[in-house]
């Protein structure tokens, strides 16, 4: 009988081995995260969703580079972002020094919503961690707020410290803190589009 999260745990173990044995792969992941988080501050509301979506694409590419058949399904699936044979991952980023991590947005007062997904956590100053509900089932890490199910950041860090087999140490930067230095996703996209026009490209605002 297939055990819960068997496919996801096996995939993460393969991913961890690949990253730790391939300096170029590790460097590529760190470069991609540094570029993303150095351009777009997640403290700006409109940037958060795009940074989250870009993070999913980066993780799909990284898993594929590790030899895992991964597909980006975040736009079509409700609870997972990456599909692998036999299972899938949710992807959550935490790019600041404090605060808990939102796992699921809850509509209304439903008591039926539970965290049930294997999750890749991309954590500032820590690396890429893995956890699933069975691994954290005997901890007090998961709790419900008014509109979300969250994981306590401190307890997730404690779990990964006690179980380093579920952590890929790598450099994950803070999100850009100075909002005035951050690009806005909408502006960056508009500029890229208008570069292909004749008159509009000449009247682009500088700021």
CATH of the domain at 158: 3.40.600
104 is a domain residue: yes
For the residues 112-127, what does the mean pLDDT come to?
90
Q: What pLDDT is recorded for position 138?
A: 66
The model carries a pTM of 0.88
185 is a domain residue: no
202 is a domain residue: no
CA distances in angstroms from 164 to 47, 129, 156, 199, listed in the order given: 31, 9, 12, 56
For residue 128, pLDDT beyond 80: yes
195 is a domain residue: no
Note whether 91 and 81 are within 8 A (CB).
Answer: yes
Structure-model confidence comparison of residues 72 and 139, the more confident one: 72
41 is a domain residue: yes
For residue 111, pLDDT beyond 70: no
Note whether 144 and 106 are within 8 A (CB).
Answer: yes
State the chain's mean pLDDT as an integer: 88
Q: How many domains does the chain have?
A: 1
72 is a domain residue: yes
Note whether 113 and 104 are within 8 A (CB).
Answer: yes
Question: Which of the residue ranges 37-46, 80-89, 101-110, 183-192 would you say has the lowest mean pLDDT?
Answer: 101-110
For the residues 113-129, what does the mean pLDDT come to?
93
For the residues 172-191, what does the mean pLDDT come to?
81
Instruction: Specify the 3-state DSSP secondary structure of 41.
Output: coil
For the residues 182-199, what does the mean pLDDT come to?
86
In 3D, which of 128, 176, 175, 177 has the Cα closest to residue 156? 128
78 is a domain residue: yes
Structure-model confidence comparison of residues 123 and 107, the more confident one: 123
Retrieve residue 49's tokens: 């969703």
Residue 93 phi/psi, 5-degree rounding, is -110, 150
The string of pLDDT tens digits covering residues 142-152 is: 887 777 888 99
Q: What pLDDT is recorded for position 49?
A: 87
Identify the burial level of 16 via C-beta atoms within 10 angstroms of its C-beta, where 0-12 means exposed, 13-18 middle and 19 or more buried: buried
CA distances in angstroms from 127 to 2, 43, 92, 121, 190, listed in the order given: 29, 20, 12, 8, 32
Domain that residue 96 falls in: 6-180
For residue 61, pLDDT beyond 90: yes
206 is a domain residue: no
Q: What pLDDT is recorded for position 41?
A: 84
Q: What pLDDT is recorded for position 1?
A: 47
């Amino acid at each position: 009988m297939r055990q819960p999260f068997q496919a996801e745990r096996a995939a993460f173990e393969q991913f961890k081995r690949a990253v730790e044995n391939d300096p170029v792969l590790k460097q590529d992941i760190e470069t991609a995260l540094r570029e993303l988080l150095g351009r777009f501050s997640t403290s700006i509301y409109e940037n958060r969703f795009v940074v989250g979506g870009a993070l999913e694409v980066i993780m799909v590419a990284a898993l594929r580079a590790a030899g895992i058949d991964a597909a980006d399904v975040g736009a079509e699936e409700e609870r997972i972002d990456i599909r692998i044979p036999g299972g899938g991952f949710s992807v959550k980023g935490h790019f600041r020094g404090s605060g808990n991590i939102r796992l699921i947005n809850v509509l209304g007062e439903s008591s039926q919503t539970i965290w049930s997904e294997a999750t890749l956590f991309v954590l500032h100053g820590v690396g890429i961690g893995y956890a699933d509900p069975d691994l954290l089932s005997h901890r007090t890490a998961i709790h419900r707020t008014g509109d979300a199910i969250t994981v306590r950041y401190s307890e997730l860090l404690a779990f990964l410290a006690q179980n380093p087999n579920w952590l890929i140490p790598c450099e994950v930067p803070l999100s850009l803190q100075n909002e005035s230095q951050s690009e806005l996703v909408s502006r960056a996209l508009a500029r890229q589009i208008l570069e292909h026009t004749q008159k509009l490209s000449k009247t682009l605002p500088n700021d």
